[in-house]
């Protein structure tokens, strides 16, 4: 009897394993990108991902491979955040977070710098740690807003904190044997921060309109072009297939977003959530109405930015987007994660692309708004 039970058990196990399909990804589009970075103990994914996006754009436009300083952008953006917070008398978001257009705003005003000229690492640091920056700044700003007699000036002490924890501004620096200002350096790269658009897809605003998206990290009130969900995804694919990488704002709070396993999935059956991190499962069909409902009930939130560099398929033909993260190379697929089409449809907040990456007919419509 034991022999038959053992045979039956082995048969079931063999049958189960023969039907389980582990992920095997194959590239359809795989675009050049710089090395994976580590944002450390900071909330500056918006700068790391958008800097990576800019690095790919500089390579696409001019052929130059340049490591852009993420912290130069962070340093200049904190000045804007502090001003905004004070002028709104504390009734504004003040955090480490930001969006892709914040980098474009900073570059427009303050140029770009190479990593070697401004690392943002101070003292003996080898990993970024900004855990004290916002709390320390906020104490000063709140005292000023509350008219504390001991805090009559906020600009100097805030500058001191940023100079100490990130680094003082650099007016001139050397790169490849030549002296540049940040603006001159950006001009040399041929990068134009005005050449980019941010697209989204929500039903609470008219399609083919431009609106300010009400999410916490949009402290600078950036505008987004609104598209139907199917067109939003078509533009994403068109950009990648045309050789343009894409900047991404997305929700990564789902249990089925796993940088450890290197995949992000929306299973059709929640009972398969854990299974989906290891093997292919059927995924949920995403509608615009369901996407909107998940946004309005806070199941979809704006919490992370990354850089899309390719399109892949698994052995069953399902589509995934190869996405570069900024959590180091020790996680996922060397720091990359494969995000399924369903996950992208449901959980992406917005994408940023070069204007020329938008199909011509749609580009003419959007850019007249």
pLDDT in tens, the chain (369 residues): 333 333 333 343 444 444 578 999 999 999 999 999 999 999 999 999 999 999 999 999 999 999 999 999 999 999 999 999 999 999 999 999 999 999 999 999 999 999 999 999 988 889 999 999 999 999 999 999 999 999 999 999 999 999 999 999 999 999 999 999 999 999 999 999 999 999 999 999 999 999 999 999 999 999 999 999 999 999 999 999 999 999 999 999 999 999 999 999 999 999 999 999 999 999 999 999 999 999 999 999 999 999 999 999 999 999 999 999 999 999 889 999 999 999 999 999 999 999 999 999 898 888 777
Distance in Å from the first CA to the final CA of the chain: 77
Q: Residue ranges per domain, the chain?
A: 21-130+166-366
Q: What is the pLDDT of residue 12?
A: 39
Q: How far, rounded to the nearest angstrom, does the alpha carbon of residue 173 sit from its chain's CA centroid?
A: 28
Fold (topology level) of 21-130+166-366: Cathepsin B; Chain A (3.90.70)
**pLDDT confidence of residue 3:** 37
Burial readout 312-336 (b: 16 or more C-beta within 10 A, e: otherwise): bbbeeebbbbbbbbbbbeebbbebb
Residue 266, helix vs strand vs coil: coil
Using CB atoms within 10 A of its CB, is residue 55 exposed (0-12), middle (13-18) or buried (19+)?
A: buried
Give the whole-angstrom CA distance, residue 196 versus residue 92: 26
């Amino acid at each position: 009897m034991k022999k038959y039970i053992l045979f039956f058990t082995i048969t079931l196990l063999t049958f189960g394993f023969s039907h389980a399909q582990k992920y095997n990804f194959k590239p359809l589009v795989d675009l050049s990108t710089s090395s994976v970075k580590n944002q450390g103990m900071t909330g500056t994914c918006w700068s790391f991902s958008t800097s990576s996006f800019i690095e790919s754009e500089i390579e696409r436009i001019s052929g130059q491979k340049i490591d852009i300083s993420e912290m130069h952008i962070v340093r200049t953006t904190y000045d804007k955040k502090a001003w905004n917070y004070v002028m709104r008398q504390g009734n504004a978001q003040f955090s480490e977070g930001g969006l892709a257009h914040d980098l474009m705003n900073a570059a427009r005003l303050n140029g770009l710098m190479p990593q070697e000229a401004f690392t943002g690492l101070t003292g003996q640091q080898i990993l970024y740690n900004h855990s004290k920056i916002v709390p320390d700044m906020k104490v000063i700003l709140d005292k000023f807003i509350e008219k504390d007699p001991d805090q009559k000036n906020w600009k100097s002490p805030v500058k001191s904190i940023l100079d100490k924890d990130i680094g003082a501004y650099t007016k001139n620096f050397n790169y490849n044997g030549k002296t540049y200002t940040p603006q001159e350096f950006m001009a040399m790269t041929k990068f134009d921060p005005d050449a980019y658009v941010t697209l989204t897809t929500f039903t609470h605003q008219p399609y083919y309109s431009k609106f300010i998206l009400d999410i916490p990290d949009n402290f600078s009130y950036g505008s987004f072009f609104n598209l139907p969900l199917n067109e939003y995804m078509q533009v994403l694919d068109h950009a990648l297939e045309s050789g343009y990488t894409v900047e991404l704002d997305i929700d990564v709070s789902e249990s089925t977003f796993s940088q450890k396993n290197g995949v992000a999935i929306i299973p059709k059956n929640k009972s398969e959530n854990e299974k989906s991190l290891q093997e292919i499962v059927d995924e949920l069909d995403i509608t615009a109405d369901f996407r909107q409902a998940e946004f309005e009930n806070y199941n979809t939130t704006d919490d992370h930015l990354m850089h899309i560099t390719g399109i892949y398929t698994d052995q069953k033909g399902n589509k995934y987007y190869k996405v570069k993260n900024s959590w180091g190379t020790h996680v996922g697929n060397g720091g990359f994660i494969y995000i399924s089409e369903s996950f992208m449809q449901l959980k992406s907040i917005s994408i940023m692309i070069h204007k020329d990456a938008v199909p011509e007919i749609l580009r003419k419509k959007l850019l007249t708004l």
